[in-house]
Amino acid sequence: MQPDIGIHRARRAHLLKAMGEGVLILATAPEAIRNRDAHYPYRFDSHFYYLTAFPEPEAVLVLIAGRNGKRPRHILFCREKNPEREIWDGFRHGPQAARELFGFDAAYPFAELDKRLPQLLENQPRVCYPFGADAAWDGRVMGWINTVRGKARAGVSAPAVIADAHALIDEMRLFKDAHEVEFMQRAADISADAHLAALRACKPAMGEWEIEAELLRAFRRGGCQAPAYTPIVAGGANACVLHYISNDQVLNDGDLLLIDAAGEYHGYAADITRTFPVNGRFSGPQKDVYEIVLAAQAAAIEAVRPGTTWNAPHEAALRALTRGLVDLKLLDGEVDGLIESEAYKPWYMHRTGHWLGLDVHDAGEYKQDGDWRVLEPGMALTVEPGLYFRPGKDVPGHLENIGIRIEDDVLVTPEGRRVLTQAAPKSVKDIEEAMREH
Ligand code: GLY
Ligand code: MN
Ligand code: MN
């Protein structure tokens, strides 16, 4: 599967309409040094990629709204061809090929930005760019605007309004088109396979890092370019550390293993968590807690449909988890009152999900005019309730160090929902069967 350039160009046209007038300037992410001469693997900026599909660093998108009968213009600045650098660092498209292949009206060398941008901003009413996101770019854009201001006596006007480019693009990115859903489904399928591989490989006395290795292998083998985020492979008590990523402890017989890991496919993230017993059999207390989280997740997934609010899945999960905490005798009282007083918080301290897309915590507002957003077809979100029992005065010994989260990726559809990550085993029966087979 490859990006469809026509779709990226259509997104730019849509953005130009939403923008109305002026010039949009959007740079991709810079390369990042890990240490001395070693770089982190390069990852483009998600907003930039959404609009261009252009994967190289040192690139800037400039969109100019049409006016006075002139057509809108889509312009790319990118690195020039450089036979010497290409020996060391690999292929670069160069402006000419980039213009043709990525559907631009014009493309120029990145090195010409400071020369050309002031010209492009002359007599434009507005500049739209992600101000505040990067101090160096802020300074550069202000420099271009000041250059134009310097021509006032020659009758040239400078943009008088600066608008946030991200807000406009965030709103577009919130609604996934069919092309994006295909990429997200592929990321989900590969990630579900990776969870199955990890579950099959798992045995007592293995290291968390060995399970991590299974996951990473499955991501790359399946065609993901990278993990979507650093995998969490958390045995036993480590599952109660929400952002545990050291993955350097040995897995004990009798403990649970929580894995929160997924791959990224052409920029699109999956985000899956599964929790299963290291030895293949849930203990009584582990199963009791697991069934509560699973029921909370089912209720939350059921609450995903057009017309409900962003918060409805969270409320459904809270209800089921709080009832479960009463059943476990950790809480006492009426469920409504316990939810109202947030009595569940010591054991459920995070929210039930987030938007998902090019970023694992994807773009998009969660509220509009102070109210939770209404779910609409095309929105994609995670559903990820959990319970975490760190040792403490209120936690009985048989629950100590049990940490369970179950996370799936859900697309809102006209009929209700589609769970993208079904393929990773989730019921106690399916997990135990899959582990017994190995
Ligand atoms: N894996 C990141 C999250 O679940 O939010
Ligand atoms: Mn998540
Ligand atoms: Mn996750």
Which residue owns the Cα nearest ligand 1 atom 5? 361
The predicted structure's pLDDT at residue 182: 98
Which residues 6+ apart lie within 8 Å of 85 measured at CB?
92
Q: List the catalytic residue out of 116, 166, 281, 350.
A: 350
180 touches ligand 1 (CB under 6 Å): no
> How confident is the model at residue 221, as a pLDDT?
98
Please identify, by atom number, the ligand 1 atom nearest to the C-alpha of residue 382: 4
What integer pLDDT is reported at residue 437 of this predicted model?
A: 84
Average per-residue pLDDT for the chain: 97
Nearest CA to 111 among 134, 125, 92?
92
CA of 81 to the centre of ligand 2 (A): 40
Residue type, 200: R
The CATH H-level superfamily of 178-437 is Creatinase/methionine aminopeptidase superfamily (3.90.230.10)
Is 332 annotated in the active site? no
- Cα distances (Å, whole numbers) of residue 199 to 215, 273, 327, 434: 10, 12, 29, 8
> What local confidence, expressed as pLDDT, does residue 155 receive?
95
Atom of ligand 1 nearest to the CA of 261: 1
pLDDT of residue 30: 96
Per-residue pLDDT, averaged over 55-72, amounts to: 95
pLDDT at 191: 98
User: CA-CA distances (angstroms) from residue 101 to 98, 221, 420?
Assistant: 5, 28, 31
What proportion of the chain, given as a percentage, has pLDDT over 90? 97
Task: Output the CA 3–ligand 2 centroid distance in Å.
Answer: 25
State pTM to two decimals.
0.96
What is the position in ligand 1's atom list of the atom closest to the CA of 271? Answer: 1
How confident is the model over 186-208, as a mean pLDDT?
98
| Mean of pLDDT values over 39-55 | 98
Q: Which among 195, 230, 355, 360 is the best mutation to test ligand 1's pocket, defined by most ligand atoms within 8 Å of the CB?
A: 360
Residue 83 has pLDDT above 80, yes or no: yes
CA distance 83 to 376: 49
Cα separation, 378 vs 376, in Å, equals: 6
What is the full DSSP assignment across 271-330? -EEEEEETTS---HHHHHHHHHHHHHHHHHHHT-STTSBTTHHHHHHHHHHHHHHHHTTS
- Residues recorded for the chain: 438
362 lines ligand 1 (CB under 6 A): no
Average pLDDT over residues 392-406: 95
pLDDT higher than 90, residue 393: no
Residue 394 has pLDDT above 90, yes or no: no
Sorted by where each begins, the domain ranges of the chain are 5-173, 178-437
The residue annotated as part of the active site, out of 189, 255, 384, 408, is 384
Centroid of ligand 3 to alpha carbon of 407 (angstroms): 6
Structure confidence at residue 1 as a pLDDT band (50, 70, 90): confident
Residue located via tokens 């694992």: 360
pLDDT surpasses 80 at 438: no
Question: pLDDT tens, 209-249?
Answer: 999 999 999 999 999 999 999 999 999 999 999 999 999 99
Query: CA–CA separation, 233 vs 247, rounded Å?
Result: 5
pLDDT band at 424 (very low <50, low <70, confident <90, very high): very high
Closest approach atom of ligand 1 to CA 354: 5
Atom 3 in ligand 1: which residue has the minimum CA distance? Answer: 271
In this predicted structure, what is the pLDDT of residue 68? 84
Fold (CATH) for 5-173: Creatine Amidinohydrolase; Chain A, domain 1 (3.40.350)
List pLDDT tens digits, range 251-264.
999 999 999 999 99
For residue range 298-347, list pLDDT tens digits in order: 999 999 999 999 999 999 999 999 999 999 999 999 999 999 999 999 99
Catalytic annotation on 260? yes
pLDDT band at 69 (very low <50, low <70, confident <90, very high): confident
